[in-house]
Amino acid sequence: MHAVTLIKGDGIGPSIMDEAVKVINASGAKIQWEDAYAGLSAFEKFGNPLPDATMESIDKTRVAFKGPLTTVVGTGFRSINVALRQKYELYANVRPATNWEGVKTRYDDVDIVIVRENTEGLYSGLEHYLTSKKDIAESLAVVTRSGSQRVIEYAFKYARDNNRKKVTVCHKANILKYTQGIFLDVARETAARYPDIQFDEKIVDAACMHMVMNPQQFDVVVTTNMFGDILSDLTAGLVGGLGLIPGANIGDDAALFEAVHGSAPDIAGKNLANPAAVIMAGVMMLNHLGEFEAAKRIKLAIEKVVREGKYVTPDLNLQSTCGTKEMGDAIVAAMG
């Protein structure tokens, strides 16, 4: 039995997480869910967007499965997601984007894994006004050699362990010579220790153009926090949108699994949200827990449902009248 902290989250969170839990429970994986709260729902319930009980649960389970959070404005917390990633030192945010059979997009051979530095950079949280009139503000990007080392090492090791051929570092060291310079230097040093993995460097703006025009040249991409945030929505767009892309936040002694997308207030409460992204995050979690059989069953089932195209939400098929729940039911049924 694996104890997992379950945070259903805000907006579309509860509806997609209910489907994910249903699918995982039906897969044969042995999970004991511990309900916990964070984000807007926690703020409304307990007056605190990140209650101690939630952290006590993660302290114990070391594995969390999380829906998207709406970050409450004006509570002193800048972002609960950032706070959790920093507290548990979840330094590698792994976001795979692969074409799906049955989802028509511009390309059919995209297979990119973004490994985003997840604890520092421009999202370090060091932001303030410089004047009482609040007309000048600054944000500090903090890049450390050790912080760069652990995520870049993770990316190369991930490439080697997953039979990937190439790691591309995306950076802006031409302008941000010190912060981005450290990251690029560490990438070069690390690449030298992995002679079996091809290494490429791209300046991030040019990388965006290359990714849109010729995504096949990318395999594993390692980059700093904000660039990884942006590039992973770009790669989501290449393969059919945010409804499909999972993410794993990995640290040395804790991990948190979630979709790349947010709480989607524009479609919340309408039974329209695609549960696939968060279910695929569940697949990543099961692999992390060693539940390989269950992970494979779910992956095959969800691929079948998407390929057949009948029980998919409207983001994948505009004609579809299938909702979040019906798609979840179809995935359970496809597991046989």
Q: Is residue 251 near ligand NAI by the rule CB under 6 A?
A: no
Rounded distance between C-alpha atoms, residue 13 and residue 18, angstroms: 8
Three-state DSSP state, 320? coil
Closest distance to ligand NAI from the beta carbon of 265 (Å): 6
Q: Is residue 261 near ligand NAI by the rule CB under 6 A?
A: yes
Q: Rg of the chain's alpha carbons, rounded to an integer?
A: 20
Near ligand NAI by CB under 6 A: residue from 95, 258, 294, 295: 258
For the residues of 211-250, what is the DSSP string, one character each? HHH-GGG-SEEEE-HHHHHHHHHHHHHHHT-GGG-EEEEE
- Helix, strand, coil tally for the chain in percent (to 5): 40, 20, 35
Q: Report which secondary-structure segment, H or E, holds 3.
A: strand 2-7
Question: Half-sphere exposure of residue 91, counting CA atoms within 13 Å on the CB side?
Answer: 18
From the list Mg ion, ligand NAI, none, partner contacted by residue 229 (C-beta under 5 to 8 A by kind): Mg ion
Across 140-173, b (16+ Cβ under 10 Å) vs e yields ebebbeebbbbbbbbbbebbeeeebeebbbbbbb
Near ligand NAI by CB under 6 A: residue from 264, 283, 298, 331: 264
Of 40 and 110, which CB lies nearer to ligand NAI in the complex structure?
40
Near Mg ion by CB under 5 A: residue from 19, 229, 291, 315: 229
What is the number of the residue whose Cβ is closest to Mg ion?
229
Rounded distance between C-alpha atoms, residue 64 and residue 61, angstroms: 8
From the list ligand NAI, Mg ion, none, partner contacted by residue 82 (C-beta under 5 to 8 A by kind): none
From the list Mg ion, ligand NAI, none, partner contacted by residue 273 (C-beta under 5 to 8 A by kind): ligand NAI
User: Are the C-beta atoms of residues 210 and 220 closer than 8 Å to each other?
Assistant: no
Of 243 and 282, which CB lies nearer to ligand NAI in the complex structure?
243
Of 19 and 34, which CB lies nearer to ligand NAI in the complex structure?
19
Across 208-219, b (16+ Cβ under 10 Å) vs e yields beebeeebeebb
Closest distance to Mg ion from the beta carbon of 240 (Å): 17
For residues 68-107, which are near ligand NAI according to CB under 6 A?
A: 68-71, 81
From the list ligand NAI, Mg ion, none, partner contacted by residue 7 (C-beta under 5 to 8 A by kind): none
Catalytic residues: 123, 172, 205, 229
User: Are the C-beta atoms of residues 49 and 77 closer than 8 Å to each other?
Assistant: yes
Closest distance to ligand NAI from the beta carbon of 252 (Å): 21
From the list ligand NAI, Mg ion, none, partner contacted by residue 196 (C-beta under 5 to 8 A by kind): none
User: Are the C-beta atoms of residues 206 and 223 closer than 8 Å to each other?
Assistant: no
Closest distance to Mg ion from the beta carbon of 167 (Å): 22
Three-state DSSP state, 63? strand
CB neighbours of 221 closer than 8 A, spacing ≥ 6?
112, 113, 114, 115, 167, 168, 169, 170, 207, 231
Of 54 and 93, which CB lies nearer to Mg ion in the complex structure?
93
Three-state DSSP state, 262? coil
Near ligand NAI by CB under 6 A: residue from 49, 147, 246, 262: 262
Instruction: Count the site residues for Mg ion by CB under 5 A.
Output: 1
Of 19 and 229, which CB lies nearer to Mg ion in the complex structure?
229
What is the number of the residue whose Cβ is closest to ligand NAI?
262
From the list Mg ion, ligand NAI, none, partner contacted by residue 263 (C-beta under 5 to 8 A by kind): ligand NAI
Pull the structure tokens for residue 183.
């990251």
Q: Which residues bind Mg ion (CB under 5 A)?
A: 229
Q: Which residues bind ligand NAI (CB under 6 A)?
A: 12, 16, 68-71, 81, 242-243, 258, 261-267, 273-274, 277, 315
